[in-house]
Amino acid sequence: MLIIGIAGGTGCGKTTVVNTLIDELQHEDVALISQDSYYKDTSNLNYDERAKINFDHPQSIDFKLLVEHLRELKKGNAVQQPIYSFVEHNRTGEFITTPPKKVMLVEGILIFNNAELRDLCDIKIFIHADSDERLIRRLKRDINERGRDLNEVLDRYQNTLKPMHQQFIEPTKEFADIIIPNNRYNNTAIKMVKSIIEQRLH
């Protein structure tokens, strides 16, 4: 099994890169594990309390479960990947059965922040986009897809996302094997990663 970690700040284009790879490969032996599925269960809190959680801090991620699932997949066992609701700021209680594949893409802003998770990645890719570009993408996504208003998004970016990026995400670039500049769609870099995956699959 080839495990490829894909990290980078919010709005850098990780999801676009991952979806492009999956769409272009069109291969049944490629699957995705998203860090977003592994936010800790916060059912013990009410909605207002959950909304105040710093979701861009490593402590918000259930790394223990994520590492455990990747190890199970490497052993050839399927796992139950939690389903997370960004509207409710909590797990839904439902799961996606994820079987082991030859190539597992692991995507998330904080995945290189955990040493055990880094060690499980055969290839580590960091997607880089400048802060203005990331903010614009974050605004569009959170307003259009997650029902947030402009002031809420800007407040969270200024008080949480930006300082967390500087403290916990940007420094993990040093762990990357490949850094992809992604202010604009980087077709050359994606083709290079696709070629690496295809060599492994064949």
Domain boundaries, the chain: 2-188
Give the predicted TM-score (pTM) of the model.
Answer: 0.86
Residue 59 phi, psi (nearest 5)? -65, -15
- The yes or no reply on domain 2-188 and CATH 3.30.210.10 is no
Burial (Cβ within 10 Å: 0-12, 13-18, ≥19) of residue 87: exposed
Q: Report in angstroms the alpha-carbon separations of 164 from 13, 23, 88, 157, 170.
A: 18, 31, 22, 9, 9
CA dist., res. 125 & res. 39, Å (int): 21
Find, among 83, 111, 99, the residue nearest to 6 by Cα: 111
- pLDDT tens string, the chain, 202 residues long: the values are 999 999 998 877 788 889 888 888 877 889 999 999 999 988 898 988 888 888 889 999 999 999 999 999 999 999 999 999 887 888 888 999 999 999 999 999 999 999 999 999 999 999 988 777 777 777 888 787 777 778 877 887 788 888 898 999 999 999 999 998 876 667 888 888 889 888 877 7
